Structure 1
């Protein structure tokens, strides 16, 4: 019987033509060093975008990340929309992969060859066996950073066997704890048309999945996840009719235990308005070991995010997630921070930026145990080696992830995807994996100010990516003067896939280009899938150089 991952259209083929050339030496990345070649690896390539074009027009992709925050995130960095406020060591752009012309290499690879490569799984094999977990169990010495003979980091355990409610079901028939959710891709680099497909799953600790006596309960878990969603959205969340008496919690805050149709958002402790977990977590909350607060995930929350190649289905030509992973990213909340803790940290960071503008951030951890972000989360990841197998990310490759998770204004408890979870009205409460239902037919997200999210970004940026290198999107949706084309824009209002998915030709070209970075193992120089030299990127900037943007734009939630 084929593994359930076959629902993703997985086809496991023998690789042909994409191995390293005969006799070529495979590049090796040192996984044990914590010395950064790029000391500001946490500042992403997009921060070097030329926001003014040759004609003097100003483009603003910066508001996607840099904006006024909503508590308890207190970064409030909308000033970074108006100036390149980089520390001295970062003034010269270190992301030199943006300036590599890969057209000749891309032309040498046939479509059949790249499809064979991306359709060969490097996380699960054709029988659904976890290749990465098996390798971590038989640990290569070069991965054993602390030298104790065992892997002390996270071992990926999602099976990609999702049920109708988005729960991942293990080989034993029980929930693994992971639950997939659908979300609106963040503007710019995370649109599939700019280089990759991806998915995100959440897992709460066991206490949030169990009744008071420690028995696993899907109802308890579903309810606690709905409570988390209400806390992160700061809004009520619809749920299936739920017996509050059985759970012992007034979920809809109507003053009685009856049947609830939604979880109310009603958290203002100073006014006596509180919320409660259900099940075992409720008892732990009363004991002080399972804190709850608006805008914050429970202690021990985990996220798993895979970044993948872009597949093209043979018969329909539709875009799909490829079996092959580019990266597997993981983060776990290991320390609880109160509103006061987070505000104090943000104020200290803001003061340091003013007092010591050339001081860079320092990070602690390793490729084996992950890297802490300073605000309670530990991040870790895996990425392809030169042969396409997954390996741990190096310390520097992991630091790359830190800048966006905790260091920018538009985070919610250092995350992006879950706050942008699709509404329950789109079906299954918004809980499904992209292999079960893709972006096709998903209507455009509406911002808090009433504007359509993606059209707003196109208008503000004059492009569909920060680098303004995606000419396919520009030509389809913008006029020569940068105005929106009404008919095409109206087309993605009801179906965002029209905008967010690339043409088959572009998809395969981006796959081929990224494969060259894998071969070189040059992720420390940038991992954006670009075919041509990117012209709309500064190679060097002056400190506090104006961007040309004079009025910062608001984030999607404002």
Structure 2
């Protein structure tokens, strides 16, 4: 049975948990209230943390939690990491946020002028030193995912409950084509992590899985078909990326009844040229470029920087966060355009961002998607996000100009058949973005002036930059794969893991989640929209989130490994 977003809203309203409907609503919390609430989190073992006795918005420490710490970087009139998020409209896409001007000018609300992410300014050295290497190795190698589903069911949690078995094992939970071995229909894909927040060298590893609704996995007779599912995943990928054709996993056209590669025959294929409609039972469903179908789900786990027995960097068993998105309602592009227009009016009127609270289902981003998540409690077990912890995710999945249908990863998947597998940095090269010549990482180094937004990753500066601060282009271009470019040394990985564990113990995620040991130098504590140094117009960059996987070294890889 399919439940609409409007139905959920009715259920939530009836339950009295919609933001602002509780009879015991109180005003804004004081600083002591925040600290008291965090103290409760440091003692609670509950999978559903108790909410403050206040309106959820009034209980927020940071009303502009949608502004991430990276937005407070000191650009010094020359360094621009901002282009990765803030872009103007690309013709044909639903995203018409048109926030490219934020690359070269500050436009913070009064609330946003102060950098609320005070964990950035905390010196954690003494706490990190108290954690031994043995302790952190044991910590990150402990599974905290598998027990979550049962704990949620026990308390009657009504939102999405993790349903992919053995996900803590990473690649072992999937077959060689990325399909979950447990039959849950989740599919992993190999994608290039966004610069630079999700580079392992900056504190986290991650993976992303997609799942299409049941109808996209069925024949016209309503029977499950792997061929139909593979075909629809590929058709979706081509449309999200705006491609006219795409390579695919092996598909038997006989089980679909369509000549998908348009060669005049019905047989086994590894490419699709007819991407104008879905196949099987989903054939009559709406399709358009750069839009996901209604019912699409994404599962994203954020993990520690794992270290295997060979001292290689990998994903850890322990998860920092489990994030989930579902598209409950699909709109045509004109509706999205109107939503962006309304958002601009709200901001111009001085209104702070707000999102419908769906209770156990998370928050509604106003564009058809619900977003919910789980994060570590003080003892390392996963628990549901608090309202503000969930609020943190909303800006990137709602209000920046570079995304495609409010998402990042799928548009960055390695094209076609070879991209259907669990994420593997060693199987990717530094492909350029569409419309550019140099690799994306090399380009980022040059524009951002470092290996992270705050230019605080000294190891990346030592590895890839010259003494004068310029990028060692030849060395970057000679790197054999992404792994060699963006993973940390074992020593740095241990330090990053320890720094994040300190945050877990303190449960003060509302003050920031960045795994810093000492305070970065290139970050503002306060910003003046008019007087803080900005970038000149020549430092503005147009950028496409998609990658040209056929360019450079990847052309050979794609040709040789395509199934």
Q: Name the TM tier (shorter chain).
A: 0.7 to 0.9
> 1:556 deviation in Å?
3.2
Quick check: 1:404 aligned with 2:396? yes
CA 1:549–1:474 in 2, change beyond 3 Å: closer, same or farther?
farther
C-alpha contact (below 8 Å) 2:260/2:274 kept by paired residues: no
Residue of structure 2 in register with 1:535 after alignment: 521
Corresponding residue to 2:154 among 116, 138, 142: 138
User: Number of aligned pairs?
Assistant: 488
Residues 104-156 of structure 1 deviation map (CA, whole Å, 9 limit, x = unaligned): 111111111100111011012xxxxxx001101111xxxxxxxxxx2111101
In the alignment, which residue of structure 2 is the partner of 1:17? none
Of the three residues 491, 494, 504, the one matched with 2:478 is: 491
Aligned match of 1:292: 287
Deviates more, 1:68-77 or 1:200-209: 68-77
- Native 8 Å contact 1:27 1:520 kept in 2: no
Is 1:169 aligned to residue 181 of structure 2? yes
Match of 1:481 in 2: 468
Matches within 5 A, 1:56-455: 58-70=78-90, 71-124=93-146, 131-139=147-155, 150-159=156-165, 160=167, 161-170=173-182, 175-235=183-243, 236-240=245-249, 242-244=251-253, 246-252=255-261, 260-264=269-273, 275-282=276-283, 285=284, 290-314=285-309, 316-353=310-347, 355-356=348-349, 358-366=350-358, 368-424=360-416, 428-434=417-423, 438-448=424-434, 449-455=436-442
Separation (CA, whole Å) in 2 of partners of 1:386 and 1:25: 7
Q: Residue 405 of structure 1: CA displacement?
A: 0.7
Identify if the C-alpha distance between structure 1 residues 229 and 165 changes in structure 2 by more than 3 Å, giving closer, same or farther. Answer: same
Q: Contact (CA 8 Å) 2:240, 2:411: kept in 1 or not?
A: yes
SS in 2 for 1:330: strand
SS in 1 for 2:493: helix
The Cα RMSD (Å) is 2.1
- Structure 1 residues 351-370: Cα deviation after superposition (integer angstroms, max 9, x where no partner): 443x32x3211111155221
Say whether the 8 Å CA contact 2:412–2:545 is kept in structure 1.
Answer: no
Q: Distance in 1 between matches of 2:189 and 2:250?
A: 20
> Structure 1 residue 69: deviation in Å?
3.3
Change (3 A) 1:546 1:376: farther
CA positional deviation for 1:264 = 2.9
Structure 1-normalised TM-score?
0.84
Residues 204, 111 of structure 1: CA spacing in aligned structure 2 closer, same or farther, 3 A cutoff? same
Distance 2:377 2:339 in 1: 36
TM-score, normalising length: structure 2: 0.83
Structure 1 runs of 4+ with >3 Å offset: 27-33, 240-246, 252-261
Q: CA deviation at 1:450?
A: 2.2
Which string of whole-angstrom CA distances, capped at 9 and with x for unpartnered residues, describes residues 398-443 of structure 1? 110010012111101111000000134xxx5211113xxx312421
Distance in 2 (CA, whole Å) between partners of 1:187 and 1:487 is: 20
- The verdict on how the C-alpha distance between 1:167 and 1:258 changes in structure 2, with shifts beyond 3 A counting, is closer
Alpha-carbon distance, 1:31 to partner? 3.8
CA-to-aligned-CA distance 1:518-554 (integer Å, 9 cap, x gap): 0110001110111111221110111355522423112
CA distance in structure 2 between the aligned counterparts of 1:95 and 1:151, rounded to whole angstroms: 30
- Cα distance in 2, alignment partners of residues 217 and 209 from structure 1: 6
Of 234-243 and 501-510, the range deviating more from structure 2? 234-243
Measured at CA, do residues 117 and 165 of structure 1 come closer, stay the same or move farther in structure 2, by a change above 3 Å? same
